[in-house]
């Protein structure tokens, strides 16, 4: 299983990657929403697709909400998207859901919590 993970924090990227790779999954990292779209475009050109996208909300260049909006307009619109953020404001969570996010996990996260959420989102489809 391949997961695209989008976060501007190198610390979060490496802890999420470590956790995902430890569970035997592959991960592609992107540093912001714009970079995330570019990684997806590269995958499309290689004829591959991730099983899941994990994205942060607050990022430079393109934030997580705009990123989700763009993914949902692309051929990757069917992919489950999990938001991993410090933002717990109900309005924002609702907005994310309305845009097409299927899960919301708060930082700091426990590795088991992250893996459980990943499995749930991928198997639910």
Nearest distance in Å: CB 125, Mg ion = 27
Nearest distance in Å: CB 97, Mg ion = 19
Instruction: Check if the beta carbon of residue 6 is closer than 8 Å to that of residue 55.
Output: yes
Q: Pick between residue 75 and residue 86 the one whose CB is nearest to Mg ion.
A: 86
Nearest distance in Å: CB 28, Mg ion = 18
Q: Pick between residue 36 and residue 56 the one whose CB is nearest to Mg ion.
A: 56
Per CB under 5 A, contacts with Mg ion among 22-81 are 56, 58-59
Contacts of 56 (CB under 8 A, 6+ apart): 6, 7, 8, 9, 12, 64, 83, 84, 85
Among the listed residues 92, 84, 96, the one whose alpha carbon sits nearest the alpha carbon of residue 56: 84
Q: Pick between residue 10 and residue 112 the one whose CB is nearest to Mg ion.
A: 10
Tokens coding 112 = 């088991």
Q: How many CB atoms are located within 10 Å of the residue 21 CB?
A: 12
**Choices 3-11, 32-40, 47-55, 74-82; region in contact with Mg ion by CB under 5 A:** 3-11
Q: Pick between residue 63 and residue 76 the one whose CB is nearest to Mg ion.
A: 63
Report how many residues bind Mg ion under the rule CB under 5 A: 4
Cα torsion through 70, 2, 81, 86, rounded to 10: -110
Binding region for Mg ion (CB under 5 A): 8, 56, 58-59
């Amino acid at each position: 299983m391949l997961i695209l993970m989008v976060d501007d924090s190198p610390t979060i990227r490496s802890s999420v990657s470590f956790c995902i790779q430890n569970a035997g999954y592959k991960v592609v990292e992107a540093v912001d929403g714009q970079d995330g779209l570019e990684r997806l475009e590269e995958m499309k050109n290689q004829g591959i697709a991730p099983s899941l996208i994990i994205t942060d909300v607050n990022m430079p260049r393109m934030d997580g909400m705009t990123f989700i909006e763009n993914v949902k307009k692309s051929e990757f619109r069917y992919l489950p998207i999990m938001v991993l953020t410090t933002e717990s404001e109900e309005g924002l969570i609702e907005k994310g859901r309305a845009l097409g996010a299927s899960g919301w996990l708060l930082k700091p996260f426990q590795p088991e919590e992250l893996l459980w959420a990943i499995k749930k989102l991928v198997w639910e489809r």
